[in-house]
Amino acid sequence: MFLRLLAESFLRQKRRRLLAGLAILLGATAITTMLALGTSIGDKINRELNSNYGANIIVYPKADTLDIDIAGVNIKPATSGSYLREQDLPKLKEIFWRNNITAISPELPLTVTANNRQLTATGLWFHHTIQSGTDTFTTGAPAVHPWWKLTGTWPNDNATNEAAAGAKLPFHTGDSITIDNVPIHITGTVTTGDDTDTQLLIPLALAQQLNNTPSAVRRVYLSALTKPEDAFARRNPNSLSPKDHDRWYCSPYANSIAFQVDEAIPAAHAEQIRRVAQSEGQILSRISGLMWLVTIASLIAASFAVSSAMATALLERRREIGLMRSLGASQTTIASLVFLETSILALATGTIGWALGSLLAARIAIQIFGSQIPFNAVLLPVVLALSLLVAIAGSIPSVRFALRLDPAATLREDA
Amino acid sequence: MSLSLLTLLHRSLLHRQSRARNAWIALTVSAAISTALLTLYNGLDAKLHHEFRTFGANVLVTLSSKEKPVILSEAKDPLHSNAASQKLSEKERLVIPTERSDEGSLRAQQNSESMGLLLSTIREAAGPNTQAVPFAYAVGSTASHQPIVIAGTDIPAARQLNSWWQVSAWPQNENEILVGTRALPQLAATNNETTLTYGNHTQTFQIAGTIHTGGAEDSRVYLPLAAFTAFTGAPASIIEIQIPGSAKQVNGALDRIRQQLPPNAEAHPIRQLVEGETRIVDRTRALMFGSLILISLMVAVSVLATLSASVLERRRDFAVLKALGSSQAKLQSLFLLEALSLSLAGVVSGFILGSIAAIAIGKINFGAPIFPTPAILPPVAALNLFVATVAALLPLRVLRKLQPAALLKGD
């Protein structure tokens, strides 16, 4: 009898079920979309910051002398100080957070004479491929400096007769010049908006050859996806308990990535570039914080909208409830019938809402960030639980009200 | 039938309290969420650009040190002064002094006065909230004859501009210096005192604390600008400027600054910062806009469904009124009036609630409230009134086709 009532209720009162169903569907769709965006927005913005601001970690030789660097012009003699070894660099892609390192750019600056003019040349990777285990990773200076604009092509990393010229130098694509008596072909010009505009960019191998320092690298810039720094990140890893140390080590803080680089290359010292790392962290936590608060506000609004729809849908069932009571149904039976109905409805429409919301979130992410967000199956139970909770909570006042009324009065429609 | 429209409305709202309350809650929620999201969307630009100030200077002015900065008070319009014609001549590259110039402290005094004028001119040209901090550099040597970059700056201003500077203790007086963490071991400091040499001039300084940034600063020592000029005789060579705003605003301010600059100065944006900021602010705005549209519409449609269902359920009222001789027009105005008064009440309470939510979110996330502007009231009210109107009129079109007698007999 109970089951028949349940089935009949869905079959015969389609229009009324439609209202409650539509409300839950819309609520679940909106909430799924917001949650899907909210959970992935941190990663999206992090990547966006990472690809806009470039390096946030610098690696230099532990035993290095001071940089004599003013406004991007390094006047330290190229021969002084110590170097990193180029063949150590693939170790950067073997550390625990290797997949968070999105770009690597080694540099070897030196002073050269190009066409009788003294200027700075920097040895760089352009599209260099690193082999670590079975993985290959192609990276270089353009990936770490996304704001560099190139006309022409980058030099070939293996070529010893190619270079790119800063836009403020009197060299043009196609020119042939001599650098320290080596004939060089200009493959492209670069504008950077900073002092690199007055430099020659040459393949690292050529710089090492001109400098007579095989496999030497002055410093390495890393772009890494990091987690905003908190109080825990600033702790000294050596003073942590083993458990905390593991947690610190396995969190992608700029500090812990730098720590792992130090471990991988003992002669090197890595540290976060605070201007980039700190500012990125702050922007990231502000934007994801905003998104979370907006999601919570939307959740509350959607809950109220669904609750009031449920209340309205039930308000109109007073006559039905009155009839059932006058036919001898107990209050418990009626309440269970209503709540069971509501639950079935909430689960069914919640699932559809979840599917629609996931699609919508994916569309929005592609529209705004130009890339997919990961499909998040964990959201299904969350959204279903929320739908159930909100739908039942919205029904309770109306059911209590209907049960309190005198059945005879409701049947006469005086109430 | 002597019942007026207003009496009917009054009775309808009073005697069907739970129905009216449900409708009012629904409309309040709809107005509140659109108020909150619109307010956040409007305030987002300013708040985010404020956050991006943590990146520090986004414009650099380099002064070639062959000439001292021109005092601008006499040449407010440099485009038409003689100096302007020289401006087009090839820009001199930044010259880094390594020798102390012979001119004495008089020159230093003049420099600091004209620098002060230049800074206030830049701040005036760039607009409010602009920070401009002078920096001076020279290469000196440590007690152990290691070369080291000596920098001079307005330390309190630099502290404000460069929030990422990690400093153990800030200098309190003119003779105290900051030492980079990589430079510290090279200085052979005893009792927090170290000697620096510039040209043939050697001076002892008090170390106030260390500076750590992970950048070039770590290899330098920082002196207060006045102490730097007294020590080296060199003027500031770079002004770091922080202009808040989008790429367009920054470039506009940059143009205004360029018009005011003396001929030996060159201003250029730090492209990395200006472009990155614009892109990220734009994407966040787009995201907020998407959420705004999505949530407002979803809630509005949900409210619309609720309201029209509640009107549809009033077929009996409709039938009684019709049977008593009410015209369709009168019925429409009754239902409409009821919906609109509920909707207005909803807009008022929703606007208040939504404003509170936006202020709270601004306070929690950005540390400063985001206040609603009156400009967002029209769209919020329009959406709400539209929903209420459609919710009232749509069911009436359905009911119109039905016979009052059939309706009164029951379902």
Instruction: Report the predicted TM-score, pTM, of the whole model to 2 decimal places.
Output: 0.80
Residue type, B316: R
A312: nearest CB among B272, B280, B310: B310
- Residue with the two structure tokens 């040349």: A121
Interchain proximity B309–A279, CB inside 8 Å: no
The CA–CA distances, whole Å, from A124 to A103, A127, A199 equal 13, 9, 12
Structure confidence at residue A390 (pLDDT): 87
Contacts with A66 from chain B: Cβ below 8 Å: 146-149, 182-183, 186, 219
Structure confidence at residue B240 (pLDDT): 92
For chain B, say whether A61 makes contact (Cβ under 8 Å).
no
Q: Which of A298, A300, A314, A399 to mutate to test the interface with B (most CBs of B within 10 A)?
A: A298
For chain B, say whether A207 makes contact (Cβ under 8 Å).
no
Interchain proximity B276–A271, CB inside 8 Å: no
- Tokens, residue B338: 């009821």
Contacts with B146 from chain A: Cβ below 8 Å: 65-66
Structure confidence at residue A21 (pLDDT): 86
For chain B, say whether A274 makes contact (Cβ under 8 Å).
yes
In this structure, are strands B201-212 and B238-242 parallel, antiparallel, or unpaired?
Answer: unpaired
Q: What's the CA gap between A77 and A109, in Å, rounded?
A: 9
Length of chain A: 415
Residue B41 CB neighbour total at 10 angstroms? 18
For A284, left (φ over 0), alpha (ψ -120 to 50), or beta? alpha
Interchain proximity A289–B18, CB inside 8 Å: no
B295: nearest CB among A69, A198, A301: A301
* Beta-carbon pairs below 8 A across chains A and B: 240
A23: nearest CB among B139, B279, B306: B306
Give A137→chain B minimum CA distance, Å: 25
Contacts with A192 from chain B: Cβ below 8 Å: 271
Interchain proximity A68–B147, CB inside 8 Å: yes
Which residues of chain B have a pLDDT value below 70? 1-3, 12-16, 65-110, 407-411
Q: What's the CA gap between B163 and B151, in Å, rounded?
A: 18
Q: What's the CA gap between A135 and A94, in Å, rounded?
A: 10
Structure confidence at residue A12 (pLDDT): 67
Interchain proximity B291–A293, CB inside 8 Å: no
Structure confidence at residue B93 (pLDDT): 38
B290: nearest CB among A54, A271, A368: A368
CA dihedral A356, A358, A361, A366 (to 10 degrees): -110
For chain B, say whether A176 makes contact (Cβ under 8 Å).
no
The CA–CA distances, whole Å, from A208 to A105, A122, A196, A215, B98 equal 15, 10, 19, 6, 29
Q: Provide the chain A residues 134-153 that lie in CB contact (below 8 A) with chain B.
A: 145, 147
Interchain proximity B214–A277, CB inside 8 Å: yes
CA-based nearest residue to A353, from A318, A322, A390, A325: A390
Q: What's the CA gap between A49 and A46, in Å, rounded?
A: 5
Residue A389 CB neighbour total at 10 angstroms? 13
Which residues face B180 on adjacent strands? B211
Q: What's the CA gap between A205 and B131, in Å, rounded?
A: 43
Q: What's the CA gap between A283 and B283, in Å, rounded?
A: 13
In this structure, are strands A69-70 and A57-61 parallel, antiparallel, or unpaired?
Answer: unpaired
Structure confidence at residue A115 (pLDDT): 86
Q: What residue of B is the nearest CA neighbor of A76? A: B147
Q: What is the pLDDT along chain A (415 residues), one digit of tens a residue?
A: 677 777 777 666 666 677 788 888 988 999 999 999 888 888 888 888 888 888 899 998 887 777 777 765 666 665 567 889 999 999 999 899 988 999 999 999 888 888 888 888 999 999 999 887 788 899 999 999 988 999 999 999 988 889 999 998 999 999 899 888 889 999 999 998 888 888 999 999 999 999 888 899 989 999 999 988 888 888 888 888 999 999 999 999 999 999 999 999 988 999 899 888 888 888 888 998 999 999 998 888 888 888 888 887 777 777 778 888 888 888 888 888 888 888 998 999 999 999 999 999 999 888 888 888 887 788 999 999 999 998 888 888 878 877 887 777 777 654 4
Which helix (H) or strand (E) segment holds residue A200: the answer is strand A200-203
Q: What residue of A is the nearest CA neighbor of B32? A: A301
Give A7→chain B minimum CA distance, Å: 20
Answer whether A144's CB lies under 8 Å from A124's CB. Answer: no
Cα-based angle B187, B188, B193 (whole degrees, multiple of 5)? 85
Structure confidence at residue A413 (pLDDT): 59
**Would you list the domain boundaries of chain A?**
2-46+285-412, 56-272
Q: What residue of B is the nearest CA neighbor of A299? A: B295
Q: Provide the chain A residues 225-244 that lie in CB contact (below 8 A) with chain B.
A: none
Interchain proximity B137–A302, CB inside 8 Å: no
